[in-house]
Amino acid sequence: MTPPARGSLALAIDRYLRHLAIERGLAANTLAAYRRDLDAYVAFLADNDVATPEGISPAHVSAFARYLGSRPEGALVASSMARTLSSVRGLHRFLVGEGLVPTDAATDTKPPKLGSRLPKAITIDQMAAVLAATDGDDPQRMRDKALLELLYATGARVSEAVALNVDDVIDGDVVRLFGKGNKQRIVPVGSFARAAIDTYLVRARPGFSLRGPSTPALFLGSRGQRVSRQNAWLIIRAAAERADLGFEISPHTFRHSFATHLLAGGADVRVVQELLGHSSVATTQIYTQVTADTLRDMYTTAHPRAR
């Protein structure tokens, strides 16, 4: 790979993004987010007459951080600011590592502290109502039920679920998921999800597959194409409306509920970490706080001397 010219910040960023794609295996959507963040950084630097990696000083990085919190078009919220500065800090570490600059100009710029955001799960009864809202004998309902049952049974990210091929459902009771960085994990599939998938494969998928080009995709749309993430969102929204939940849910609601219900049922946090595909147990431990809060609420409500 030919190194970028030292005078070209744009080429250095292109090289950094290729590094993220090849060495770290980041998904296309994640890379697009990095690109947007760094495009904003480059535009800010250009307004300050900086166009080269070696022309960036710590003062420029600090000024960019302040700019994010006071942009004329609207200040970024803390989470967006933290993500943008993370992209910038990663770029500067890369520039040093590749020998394009002698020092890291972003080393002293810290992202804003974020308040802990607890994941939002729904109750077991609410989840049962959503899944029941996909009952039906028409092919689309069979597909929708298989998809939603699988999301709840495995805690899969929606991108992982729609990327599944038929051969990824292994030996009847486990599924092979490919997570961030294309990391593979094997997750059990419960009897309800297995039954829904079997029904869909036998009674619905063959009809869908005849309407489009041959594809190994597990979940197919009405034209025989792989179901997209956007399709999955719409399927979930429609099921929630039929279940009369009174609020919106998302694909991640299934993942949050999967983890919360497992921990509430006594599952070990490290097992849940493996099932979710979290690289750090600290990420999974957020769900233990949700469970503790639920227990505390129940105690306060039920115990005669709790308050």
| Topology agreement, domain 9-97 and domain 124-301 | no
CATH number for the segment(s) 9-97: 1.10.150.130
Q: Which residues are catalytic?
A: 157, 180, 252, 255, 278, 287
pLDDT tens sequence across 247-303: 889 998 999 999 889 888 888 888 888 888 887 777 677 776 656 555 555 556 565
| pLDDT at res. 73 | 82
The token pair at 265 is 């049922």
Residue type, 15: R
| pLDDT at res. 144 | 98
| pLDDT at res. 4 | 37
Low-confidence stretches of the chain (pLDDT < 50) are 1-7, 306
Please report, for the chain, the start and end positions of each structural domain, with discontinuous segments joined by +: 9-97, 124-301
Helices (H) and strands (E) in the chain, counts: 14, 3
| Helix spans in 107-214 (H) | 124-132, 139-154, 158-162, 191-203, 205-209
pTM of the model: 0.61
| pLDDT at res. 5 | 37
CA gap 234, 238 in Å, rounded: 6
Q: Quick check: helix, strand or coil at residue 259?
A: helix
CA gap 127, 158 in Å, rounded: 16
| pLDDT at res. 212 | 85
CA gap 60, 64 in Å, rounded: 6
CA gap 54, 101 in Å, rounded: 6
CA gap 134, 72 in Å, rounded: 46
| pLDDT at res. 124 | 93
Pick the CATH number of 124-301 from 3.90.1150.10, 1.10.8.60, 3.30.1280.10, 1.10.443.10: 1.10.443.10
